[in-house]
Each structure stands twice: as C-alpha cells, then as structure tokens.
Structure 1
C-alpha cells in the first residue's frame, strides 16, 4: 500500500475535536491529584513493571518498559520519587531525552489488575551515590537514577487491559508460532544492511 497523506483527514483544533467527542464528565477530570497519596504509594510499591515516556528537545517521543522488583522505586515524599536506572543495552534513549526535556509520563502496571496508575511530572537524571546506594540490587548500586517531581497522578480505567484480555493465558500466543527475538533482531539488522554470520 502506498503512503497515505494523513493531513487530508487531520483534526486541526480542539474545538473541532470536541465537536466529535464531548467533554469528559467532571468526576473524570477531578480524579487527577498532584500528590503521591497512600493509594498511589501502594500501587507503585506493588508494581514490578512500568512504562516511561520521554521526548527529546525536538519532540521526538520514546516509551521505555522498565521492570524491577516491587518496591524498587524510592518514594521520598508526597511529591518526589526516584527510579533506579539498571544496566541495559546502553542506548540511554530515556536518559538522553530527560537531559534535553524533563517532561515525563509513567504508567504503572500490577499483574492481574486491569487498572493502571498514570503519572506525569518533571525528571532529573541524578548520580548521588548516597541515594543510589540505597537502591542496590544484588549488592550493586545503579550508576544513575531518574528523580521525578510529580505533577499529576490518577487511576486509569480498566477498559484497555480488560478488552485486550492481557492477563488471560487462554488468549496468549503459542511462542513456537512466533519468530524468536534473535530472528527479529537479525532481520532488522539486515534492513539496515548488516548481516551477522552464524
């Protein structure tokens, strides 16, 4: 299929948008809070997986999945938390973006729950060894941390996870019917002109 010129169908104003979809109920708007209350703290402490959304200075976006043991995120107070930056593939996409643009979004997930916790704020990449030492894993402290000044928190309704049936094993694919990650990785390298000899 040829590329489509999406601008032919684009909405160009908020007024046009609200002409199609009505404004949300007042309770949906008012559920947003600006503090980490006891419910948010409990949700974060039980979450082994979250997604970190960042953008560069030019506005190029990235979403990074982050997995760790529950309670790995250090909540300092009602307005601040610190995420340990564990060793990975060293691309540092999120870190680069935060240095350029501190605005971040987070989505926390608890296995088995269909609701998620959404959070927005401003991040700072820190290297304070005293703080990072308290976030050690297997005796090794992270080299960096992502400190977040929280601006918004709210529970998101279960529709997405409920409709996707993501927690229902009967809907999961058979792994043998799907290419291995190595095969996908090598095929993507080939697209970029790199062949790995077996």
Structure 2
C-alpha cells in the first residue's frame, strides 16, 4: 500500500472530536486524585509490571515496559514514589528523555486483573544512596532511581484487557506461531547496515 497522507481527513480540534465521541460522565472526570491514597498504594505494591511513557523536549515519545518484584516500586509518601533503574542494556531511552522533559506517565498492571492504575507526574533522576539502598534486589541496589512527584492517579476500566483476553491462557497463540524476537532483532541490525558475525 502506498503511503497515506493522514492530514487529508484529520480531526484537528477538540470541538470536532467531541462532536464525534461525545463528553464523559461526571464520575469519569472526577475519578482522578492528586495523591497516592491507600488503594493506589496497595495496587502499586502488588504490581510486578508497569509501562513508563516519556518524551523528549521535541515531543518524540517512548514507552518502556518495566518488570520487577511486587513492591519493587517504592511509595515514599502520598505524593511521591521511586522507580528503581536496574542494570539493563544501557540504552536508557526513558531517562534520557526525562533529562529534557520531566513529564511521564505510568500504567501499572496486576496479573489477572482487568483494571489498570494510571499515574502521571514529573520525574527526577536520583542517586540518593539512602533511597537506593532500600531498594536492593538480589543483593544489589539499583544504579539510579526515578523519583516521581505524582500529579494524577486514577483507575482505568478493564475493557481493553477483557476484549484482548490478555489474561485468558486459552486465547494465547501457539508459541510456534509467534514472531521470533531474535529474527526481528537481526533483521533490524541488517536494515541499519550492521553485519552479523557468525560464530
């Protein structure tokens, strides 16, 4: 298919958008809170997986999955939490984004639960030894931490996870039919002119 010019028939104003999708119920608007209350804290502490969205000063976006043991993310108080940055592949895309744009979004999941917890706030890259030493995993503290000043928390309905059947093991495809991550990785390297060394 040829490249499409999406701007030809684009929605460009909120007024036009509202004419199509309508307006949300008052309950939906007012479910946001600006603090980590008891329920949000418990949700975070039970979540072993979350997604972190960030963008740089130019607006280029990134979403990164983060997995840790439940309660790996430390809630300091009702306005702040800290995300451990464990050793990885050293790309640190999210952290580089935060250096120029501190606004981030977090999406916490609990396996088997359809609802997700959304948190928005401002991030600071921290190296405070007292905080980092309290987040030790397998005998090692994280190299850095992402301190988050929370601005918004709210629960999100289960529709997406229900419709996708993400937690329904009977709906999962056969592993033999899944795309090979190694093949995708190698294809990307070759696309970028990297010659693979055969062993």
Shorter-chain TM-score range:
over 0.9
Correspondence 1:12-91 to 2 at 5 A = 12-91=12-91
In the other structure, the counterpart of 2:109 is 109
CA-atom RMSD, angstroms? 0.8
How many residues in Structure 1 have an aligned counterpart in Structure 2?
198
CA distance in 2, matches of 1:87, 1:192: 26
Gapped regions of structure 1 (runs ≥ 5): none
CA distance in 1, matches of 2:189, 2:19: 45
Instruction: Specify every segment of 5 or more residues in structure 2 that has no aligned partner in the other structure, as ranges.
Output: none
Shift of the alpha carbon at 1:197?
2.8
Distance in 1, matches of 2:50 and 2:9, equals 33
Could you state the TM-score of these two structures normalised by the residue count of structure 1? 0.98
TM-score under structure 2 normalisation? Answer: 0.97
**Ranges of 4+ aligned residues in structure 1 off by more than 3 Å:** none
Map of 1:93 onto structure 2: 93
Show the counterpart of 2:149.
Answer: 149
- How far off is 1:178 after superposition? 2.3
CA contact (8 A) 1:186 1:195 kept: no
Asked if residue 125 in structure 1 is aligned to residue 98 in structure 2, the reply is: no
Deviations 1:34-91 (A, max 9, x none): 0000000000000000000000000000000000000011111000000000111100
1:8 alignment counterpart: 8
